[in-house]
């Protein structure tokens, strides 16, 4: 999807390697499938532990920024050096927002589960899996698309200059 010759001058907009968040989303997607599998085969404690870890990792990405995300560090140290340089870089705002959406969905699932709501666990993990899978495989940020709906609902308001 990159147009040769139109990449912005280096240094003007540093940005991040867009493959980093997709790599991270693939790890997250696999772990979310593990959560669903454990929950449905009766290993509730193990499933809760893995989901709690994922909630913490989402929070890390959302509040510390995608650049400090553990999967992002893994990508930068182990994977990126073995790949060609990225053809374009992207604004970290989108993947960071996606982490926040992931945090809210998995966090809600965990809290509802601990409150004893049946099915909350599997539903939340499944929703998060679909978002992570679309990000990893199709380069589509489902969480980011929620932004417009939140603006229209009045949940996100324009910044006052």
53 vs 145, beta carbon nearer another protein: 145
149 binds another protein (CB under 8 A): yes
14 vs 20: CA distance, rounded Å:
14
Compute the 3-state secondary structure of the chain and give helix, strand, coil in percent, each to the nearest 5. Answer: 70, 0, 30
138 binds another protein (CB under 8 A): yes
52 vs 21: CA distance, rounded Å:
20
Q: State which H helix or E strand residue 3 sits in.
A: none
Q: Candidates 49-57, 72-80, 108-116, 122-130: pick the segment binding another protein (CB under 8 A).
A: 122-130
158 binds another protein (CB under 8 A): yes
Rule CB under 8 A: choose which of 76, 120, 122, 123 binds another protein.
122
What's the CA dihedral at 67, 68, 71, 75 to 10 degrees? 50
Q: Where are the alpha helices (DSSP H) in 65-92?
A: 70-74
Please work out the total of residues on this chain that contact another protein, with binding judged by CB under 8 A: 41
**Contact string 72-101 vs another protein (x = CB under 8 A):** ----------------x-xx-xx-xxx---
35 vs 48: CA distance, rounded Å:
8
The residues of the shown chain that bind another protein, judged by CB under 8 A, are 1, 3, 6, 18, 33, 36-41, 88, 90-91, 93-94, 96-98, 122, 126, 129-130, 133-134, 137-138, 140-141, 144-145, 147-149, 151-152, 154, 156-159
């Amino acid at each position: 999807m990159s147009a040769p010759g139109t990449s912005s001058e280096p240094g003007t907009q540093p940005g991040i390697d867009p493959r980093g968040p997709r790599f991270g989303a693939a790890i997250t997607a696999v772990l979310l499938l593990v959560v669903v599998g454990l929950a449905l085969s009766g290993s509730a404690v193990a499933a809760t532990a893995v989901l709690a870890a994922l909630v913490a990792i989402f929070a890390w990405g959302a509040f510390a920024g995608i650049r400090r995300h553990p999967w992002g560090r893994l990508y930068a140290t182990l994977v990126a050096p073995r790949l060609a340089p990225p053809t374009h870089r992207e604004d970290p705002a989108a993947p960071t927002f996606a982490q926040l959406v992931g945090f809210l969905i998995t966090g809600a699932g965990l809290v509802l589960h601990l409150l004893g709501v049946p099915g909350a666990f599997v539903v939340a993990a499944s929703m998060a899996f679909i978002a992570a899978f679309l990000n990893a495989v199709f380069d589509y940020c489902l969480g980011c698309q929620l932004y417009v709906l939140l603006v229209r609902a009045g949940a996100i308001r324009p910044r006052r200059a």
